[in-house]
Structure 1
Amino acid sequence: MSFSREEVQKIIDAVGGKENIITATHCVTRLRLVLKDEKIVDEAALDNIDVVKGSFSANGQFQVIIGTGTVEKVFAVFAELTGIDTDTTKEEVKQASAEKSNWFQKALLGLAEIFVPILPAIITAGLLLGVNNLLTGPDIFMKQPVIEAYPQWAGVADMINIIAGTAFAFLPVLVGWSASKKFGGSPLLGIVLGLVLVNPALLNAYGLADARLAGDVPTWNLFGWHIEKVGYQAQVLPILAATYVLVKIELFLKKRIADSFQLLLVAPISLLVTGILSFIVIGPVTMFIANLITTGIVNIFDFAPALGGLIYGTLYAPLVITGMHHLFLAVDLQLIGSTGSTFLWPIVVMSNLAQGAAALAMFFIFKKKKDRSLAGTSALTASLGVTEPAMFGVNLRYRYPFYAAIIGSGVAGCIITVAKVKAFSIGVGGLPGIVSIMKPGWAIFALGMLLAIVIPFILTLIFSKFAKQKA
């Protein structure tokens, strides 16, 4: 999408001028601004700028939706015109946003800063696992698996499985790296700590249950105290807690050890103490908590699957507005690590498709060329899992498309949850998401996708007839 310097200057003027901008950065689709006074923002003027697809305020930031690919170019001009230092602005945005947020918003922002950077690796792994499933699953293209009918594909399937499975098996490494950056420590130490928790010398977490049944769990004998010699593959909570402890020890030591001795003492002591604590205390305690959480969520959805799917399907999009959806990303990963699948992520696909379908309906309702273009492109990106342009640029602006979307998402979520549709991984949160779904649930999941598209589309057309705010 093309844009001009004049359009970027109009964005600056609409948000109150460069004197109203404390600092700024960008993500995949949005400019993220921390402003002195959000009340003076001229949102009507923003809406009339061709390159802008919408705007909203959340977590202490005023966010201007530009779109994937274009936002980096717009930000480069934005930084030039405002004189923002692009080398330091991200940390300044975090600090400024935190100062304007309450403790709960800070916690959600922290989760986002940990999990969003590693999300591309997880989504890629999920998509590749889906491809592997197509090659190895029976009754997909034919009665027998592809690798049995065409053995020459077996090696390819095995390679894909190894490549895809690595991101989940070594999830603690990814989380350790990202969390240590967030907590202010050394990312390298976070990586090493993650590797410690998945070291091949440890009993693989996936085999722990069978080993316990067989009474064959290896242990360390620490002065008569037997500690299970178990790894934490695909686990989230243990590495999060352990990394927090690691960074606190590292920062404590850096303040008290002379610079000339830090290389020799800080990292070894930090890793040794944290590693021992991880196997003795942190790992067992957080795994107990993680099992309680996953068991509790599973039991709730088992007790009332229709209600659970309806509520989560209806509320997921509002959760995105508040940023709370990042909390459930951690829950999804923990469910996959503990049970081998997740029933929550398939509902996310329903929500994304519903937002796209509502935006698509607005394409036929809008009269202005710019609005129709925005609705069409945002519907397409939502069908591939990126919903911000559709949600914030179209649906929330007129409200009734948003209501139609969450109704459709709730109905679809209810149906697929009752049918016990599960995903073996997090994948692309749109139409390609079906490859991440376990085979028995494909038909119902496809039905859910159809309903998540048709219901919001029709309801949006109907609601538009009675809406006070005409498109």
Structure 2
Amino acid sequence: MSSNQDIAKQVVEAIGGPENVQSVAHCATRLRIMVHDKDKINEKKVEEIDKVKGAFFNSGQYQIIFGTGTVNRIYEEVNNLGVSGTTKSEMKQEAAKQGTAFQRAIRTFGDVFVPIIPVLVATGLFMGLRGLLTQEQVLSLFGLTPDSISDNFLLFTEVLTDTAFVFLPALVAWSTFRVFGGTPIIGFVLGLMLVSPALPNAWAVAEGNADPLYFLGFIPVIGYQGSVLPAFFAGLIGAKVERFFRKRVPEALDLIVTPFIVLLIMITLSLFVLGPILHLVENGIFDGVIAVLELPFGLAGLIIGFFNQIIVITGVHHIFNFLEIQLLENLGFNPFNPIVTAAIAAQGGAALAVAVKTKSKKLKALAYPSSLSAFLGITEPAIFGVNLRYGKPFIMGLIGGAIGGFLADILRLQATGMAITVIPGTLLYLNEQIFLYLIVNIVGIAVAFVLTYLFGYKDE
């Protein structure tokens, strides 16, 4: 097998040499390259390189799939060859011009939420762990009952499970300021203002234990614990307001005057205009999602399970982050996760069938790790490297996802968190649901595997 250095050299050569590279960056699984002339890329040669699990154009970038961990090392070797093109920020600006307005908007939404996801994942794991430790069956193993758990211990677990959602607007406003060119700490403070204890708590208002403050007799003002859209738009507009004043305030006064003006304008706008309006929008979106998830006879699972990975191909699946946050915030659980998990697992099952059936050593070397990657929750290698390349395996994976999603919906599975699926996702079901969760995954994988093995792939 070639070394990472050799692979980097082969990649640069196959995409038309260093002179054809405009910029290089990477994400969790893919090397992202912007080129001056896409016709100079030898795509067949790229796909024959060791460790390459697929390649495709998306949003103006040529994206080569290497997989988690490997892509970091290849990126370093490419940089060591002196191939860097423009900076990452310039690449983002250039890429931002590519694609439809909808694709650009969703990509920006993703840029805001991706840095926040790790803490939400951790929170989901804490919720799952608390669910495991407070189960009557688990406690009985140690001769304990639910009444044996001290109030102090429960308080400690609340700190672990509630903090990220209580201060979610601060995280969202911080990240939005960062993405749109503002000062992140100003965004963070603005977000904290939205959940100030001086305001009526959003959850207390929703439960009827507190009343909103009414300004001018008709504008309801509350805290925005757990809300996303008010913080997102406050950050978006706030960053632009900050940049406007930074160009006009004298440098000697900038440190004092600009943050003062930005926070004053934005908290006023957020509490009296953006907040009340966007809170209604959030509730409308949430009600719409719930309406789909409550379709009878498992239809929600069937529909979402089938179409989820098609949406992943378009690259606009980051919008689901917002939906899952809303579900967790409003329901206290996430019924969307187990359906999506089935869709992801099924694509892994289809790739695994190709790996088992093919006689090609190179395809086996690609399909086996791609299926493992899907079982760990990342489907891009399986989709772009194997299933979509041969067509039918992808369709069989969609069918497996629909059947698994249908089962997850019928069984009413409820995740305690978000953003992790399949094998890592078991941590979100460490309660009485764990066996049902495993069954859903096994069914999704088995259906996709059998259909692909029998009808979806031939060695031709």
Q: Secondary structure at the match of 2:51?
A: coil
Is the alpha carbon distance of 1:305 and 1:56 closer, same or farther for their aligned partners in structure 2, counting shifts above 3 Å? farther
How many angstroms apart in 1 are the aligned matches of 2:109 and 2:142?
A: 40
TM-score of the two chains, using structure 2 as the length reference:
0.92
* SS of aligned partner of 2:115: helix
State the partner residue of 1:263: 255
Structure-2 change in CA distance of 1:76 and 1:270 (3 Å): same
Q: Tell me if the contact between 1:30 and 1:66 (Cα under 8 Å) persists in the aligned partners.
A: yes
Q: Distance in 2 between matches of 1:16 and 1:157?
A: 60
Letter in 2 for 1:180: F
The equivalent position to 2:169 in structure 1, one of 159, 172, 193, is 172
1:417 and 1:464, CA in 2 relative to 1: closer, same or farther beyond 3 A?
Answer: closer
Q: Which residue of 2 aligns with 1:101?
A: 99
The DSSP-based 3-state class of the residue aligned with 2:334 is: coil
Whole-Å separation in 2 of the counterparts to 1:89 and 1:390: 30
Q: Tell me the equivalent position of 1:84.
A: 84
| Paired residues of 2:321 and 2:419 also in contact (CA < 8 A) | no
CA contact (8 A) 2:128 2:431 kept: no
* Runs (5+) with no aligned partner, structure 2: none
Match of 1:186 in 2: 183
Which residue of the other structure, out of 341, 345, 368, is the alignment partner of 1:349? 341
Question: Residue 283 of structure 1: CA displacement?
Answer: 1.1
Q: 2:161, 2:419 → 1: CA distance?
A: 11
| 1:397-453 deviations in Å (ceiling 9; x for gaps) | 222221111110011112222333222321421223234249565554333212111
8 A Cα contact 2:54 2:64, kept in partner: yes
Asked whether the equivalents of residues 129 and 165 of structure 1 are also in contact (C-alpha less than 8 Å), the reply is no
Q: Which of 256, 266, 289 in structure 2 is aligned with 1:274? A: 266
| Matches of 1:276 and 1:254, distance apart in 2 | 20
Contact 2:21 2:83 in 1 (8 A): no
Amino acid at match of 1:130: G
* 1:327 maps to amino acid: I
Say if 2:134 and 2:146, in contact at 8 Å, map to a contact too: no
RMSD: 2.6
Name the CA distance, whole Å, in 1 between partners of 2:152 and 2:365. Answer: 45
Equivalent residue runs for 1:308-347 within 5 Å: 308-347=300-339
Structure 2 vs 1, CA of residues 4 and 247 (structure 1 numbering), >3 Å: closer, same or farther? closer
Task: Give the fraction of aligned pairs with identical amino acids, expressed as a percent.
Answer: 36
Q: State which drifts further: 58-67 or 73-82.
A: 73-82
Paired residue total: 460
Q: Distance in 2 between matches of 1:395 and 1:365?
A: 13
In structure 1, the partner of 2:437 is 445
Aligned to 1:6: 6
- Report the AA paired with residue 125 of structure 1: T
Q: Over residues 168-218 of structure 1, what are the superposed CA-to-partner deviations in whole Å (9 max), with x where a residue is unaligned?
A: 22221221121111111111111111111122333332222223xx5x425
Q: Which of residues 416, 425, 433 in structure 1 aligns to 2:408?
A: 416
- Amino acid aligned to 2:80: E
Is the alpha carbon distance of 1:404 and 1:91 closer, same or farther for their aligned partners in structure 2, counting shifts above 3 Å? same
CA distance in 2, matches of 1:147, 1:274: 51
Matched, 1:298 2:290: yes
Q: Is 1:25 the counterpart of 2:38 in the alignment?
A: no
Cα deviation code 1:212-243 (max 9, x no counterpart): xx5x42526x5x54754522122111111111
For residue 322 of structure 1, report the CA deviation from its aligned partner.
0.6
Mind listing any 5+ residue stretches in structure 1 that lack a counterpart?
none
Please tell me whether the aligned partners of residues 415 and 429 of structure 2 are also in contact (alpha carbons under 8 angstroms): yes
Native 8 Å contact 2:226 2:329 kept in 1: yes
Report the TM-score when normalising by structure 1.
0.90
Report if aligned partners of 1:355, 1:405 keep a CA contact under 8 Å in 2: yes
Secondary structure of the residue aligned to 1:325 is coil
Q: Which residue of 2 aligns with 1:217?
A: 211
